[in-house]
Structures are given as structure tokens and as C-alpha cells.
Structure 1
Amino acid sequence: MDAHPGGASRVTEAAEHLVAELAANAATHGRLPGRDFRLALLDRRTTLRIEVTDTRGDDLPRHRPLAPDAESGRGLLLVEALADRWGVQPGPVPRNTVWAELDLPNP
């Protein structure tokens, strides 16, 4: 499997959390009635790219100030902590794609 102990399991766990968080964000904040979101996983040999495209398109995802006792709103902080890189790609209207990349361990 992986010549580097923990490398593959770290990527797998991070990918599971990233997919869950990005999909939950799209379903909660980026969904309009009659439209859905799209999830794509792209294996680029050295990088796993996770993309979630929502159907809202009118508000780009971004960090927002939170009260210390807020029960939600930390999703992008989690994405930032888990991903090696992440970002938001707007359009075409009415869509936004939030993506996160994980570097894959050498085989």
C-alpha cells in the first residue's frame, strides 16, 4: 500500500472530512430549490482535488467573524486546516466551486 506509514491514512481521513464539510456547506448555504450541488474527486497522480460546485452563485464562500460561542461557521477554517491548498472559483453564473487539494504520498 503506502511505503510511508500514516501517509495514505492521513490523506484518506483528511479527504473524508473535506468531502463532508464542503458537501454540507453546499447543501446548507449554496442550494436553491430545484437545483443541487455537484461533487467531483480528481486524482492527478500527485494530488487529490475535491471540488464541490453549488448552485447559488450570488455569495462567494469566505471566512466570517464569529462569536466565540457560535455553534457553526467554522467550516472553512476546517477546510483550511486540512487541505494543502484550497480556494473558490466563481461562475459560470449561477455557480461557485469550492475546491481543496491534498498532496498524495509517494508510492
Structure 2
Amino acid sequence: MNTTEFIGTLVLPGVKESVGLARQYATSRLMHAGYTQTDDAILLLSEVVTNAVMHTASGQPGGAINITIRVLARTTLYVEVIDDGSSSVPTPQMPDEMVAGGRGLQLVELLTDRWGVRQTKKNRTAVWMEISMPSKPDEEK
């Protein structure tokens, strides 16, 4: 049976403190729903929210980030982060080895089953990810 379980949605201001709030929210909501093995998903959410704050209009005064989390067919986590848009499409880059940052979308590409970017009707940018994860412990019997 194909089911979608809504986990939660959250709107945050486009400030660096929102990265930690996004992690806390997602961890709390997923744990409350019974999903415990979510480390990769939380890392990737953190990377994409950081990108939204640092590289899009969401990081400007009054900017916002929308986060939606769902579970598809009980074993695929779907995470979508919508930012206020930018002049470029998010793509993985090859960062300088001496630079600490710049690897977020490389991690997304490496750790997801599928991911992509789409424009919303309001010219905002949505980065979405699908990540395999085990069923809830009570469903593994």
C-alpha cells in the first residue's frame, strides 16, 4: 500500500540561527512519529537550510524558509526546503580543498536516493530530497 505520512511543516526566518531550529524541529517531529534513524536526513536538511540562508534572497531582511517533511511508503523520507529564490539554480560545486564549506549539495547528491530543484509559482526555489530509511521499529516485526 502506498501511503504518505505528513510529519510537519515549518516557516523560519532566513537567519543562521534557523539552521539549528530546523534540525531540532525535524528531529523532534520524526522521533515523535517513531522514526529514530534519521542522522543523514538531519545533516542534509541542515546543509540545504544553510544554503538557503547563505545563497538566496531568504538570507536578506524579511526573508523566509519553508520546510516540509513527509514519509512516503513508510521507508522514504521526503524533505522540501523552499527559499525566496536566487539568480542561480542550486548545483553541486567542486570546492577548493582549502575551504571549509561548499560541500553541502555534494553530500545531498551522495546520501539521497533522489533530489532535485523546482521553481514554485511565486518564483521561489524548492530543493527536495528523498532519503531511504528503515521503517518504524514497531513496523519491522
TM-score of the alignment, normalized to the shorter chain, above 0.5: yes
Matched, 1:36 2:64: yes
Deviations 1:21-66 (A, max 9, x none): 1111111112132120111101122311011000024321012342
Aligned residue among 78, 86, 92 for 2:107: 78
2:79 corresponds to: 50
Normalization by structure 1: what TM-score? 0.79
Higher relative contact order (CA 8 A, sep 6+): 1
**CA shift for structure 1 position 80:** 1.3
Normalization by structure 2: what TM-score? 0.62
Q: Runs of at least 4 residues of structure 1 off by over 3 A? A: none
Report matched runs for 1:1-107 at 5 Å: 9=37, 12-30=38-56, 31=58, 32-44=60-72, 45-106=74-135, 107=140
**Take 2:50 and 2:93, find their aligned partners in 1: how far apart are those partners?**
17
Identity level (%): 36
CA contact (8 A) 2:93 2:105 kept: no
**Take 1:42 and 1:52, find their aligned partners in 2: how far apart are those partners?**
12
CA contact (8 A) 1:60 1:90 kept: no
Q: Return 5+ residue gaps in structure 2 as ranges.
A: 1-35
**Take 1:105 and 1:71, find their aligned partners in 2: how far apart are those partners?**
31
Aligned CA-pair RMSD:
1.7
Whose helix proportion is higher, 1 or 2? 2
Structure 1 residues 93 and 58, CA gap change in structure 2 (3 angstroms): farther
Provide the secondary structure at the position in 2 that maps to 1:92. Answer: coil
CA contact (8 A) 2:80 2:126 kept: yes
Number of residue pairs matched by the alignment: 98
